[in-house]
Amino acid sequence: MNFTQHTPFHRPESLFIVNEELAGEQDLRGVNMVMSFTGFSDAGHVVTQISKELKEQLANAPLAIFDIDQLIDYRSRRPRITFAEDHLTDYKAPSLMLYRMVDALGTPFLYLQGSEPDLQWERFSAAVLSLVERFDVNLVAWVHSVPMAVPHTRPIGATVHGNRPDLIEGISAWKSIVEIPAAIGHVLEYKLAEAGRNVVGYAIHVPHYLADAEYPLAAVAGLEFLGAAASLMLPSERLRESGRAVERQITEQVEGSSEVAAVVSNLEQKYDEHTEGSARRSLLADENDELPDADELGAAVEAYLASRDTGQQGLGPADIS
């Protein structure tokens, strides 16, 4: 069969519209891209919280808007709407957009965020790859979260995957070979790696007994991984504050129930046995596995504060030495 004699598949570019004026800005060439999608596993509401913080705390503008009606099965995943006494309000329509964002130090980056597509994954993947190639994206970093049998009293871990050994080695707490249901993030990572593009993904470990509630500290961990990988200063102050309040509530509940305390204690013992003698590397460490000293951290903080005070573009993380 000669496929060239038949009508070709719809072009991937027909899935989105680009803001051509914004796309023409030179500072978008070679930037990093961050991705997160709702609709898959979102233990601790990590992706939802990260998306909210980035869109509310950082300057942003839509760069490309995807035709969501081609990608969503509304009857299997119905949008939410509010019935208020005698009328309907607050229709929460699904969306999928690529944003141009600027971090706290004035560094531009791209953020692909929205509802995970139900349909046309191959076309959507090809469309995303075409945008990555158009803007010559340096690195794509994405995040999601999974429930794990880990205690909340230990550092939040992550399973890391991708094709950048410097962003992977020494980070994952657990390593295994297992067949899993794919999310669109997995498929995009696979396609990007096949195309020779730098890509890394972080699955944040959320204690399974907290998976159904908002767990801000897990979202903070996700932002830290993304920020370190993509050399960005991402906002986490509000989540840290919320996390402290949640931690107090969890402590009260554990102390008030001997049964819950026993479960947490058992998880702590298993966690400590598994991680005994192993040390996970920080992405903040340099090539010699050394963390920045006080002067380096101080310079970064001063630049950050100066950018907030003046509203002018500050130095990017790559400029801090």
Residue-wise pLDDT tens for the chain (321 aa)? 454 444 456 788 889 999 999 999 889 999 999 999 998 889 999 999 999 999 999 999 999 999 999 999 999 989 999 999 999 999 999 999 999 999 999 999 999 999 999 999 999 999 999 999 999 999 999 999 999 999 999 999 999 999 999 998 877 766 678 888 999 999 999 999 999 999 999 999 999 999 999 999 999 999 999 999 999 999 999 999 999 999 999 999 999 999 999 999 999 999 998 877 555 555 544 444 454 544 554 454 455 445 445 443 333 333 332
Structure-token match 């914004």, residue found: 22
In terms of Cβ atoms closer than 10 Å to its own Cβ (0-12, 13-18, 19+), residue 114 is buried
In a domain? residue 2: no
In a domain? residue 287: no
Task: Return the SS3 of 297.
Answer: helix
CATH number where 36 lies: 3.40.50.10900
Are 158 and 281 a contacting pair, CB within 8 Å?
no
In a domain? residue 94: yes
The CA distances from residue 309 to 13, 55, 303, in Å, are 41, 20, 10
Task: Return the SS3 of 53.
Answer: helix
pTM, two decimal places = 0.83
In a domain? residue 276: yes
In a domain? residue 289: no
In a domain? residue 125: yes
112, 91, 92, 89: which is closest to 100 by C-alpha?
A: 112
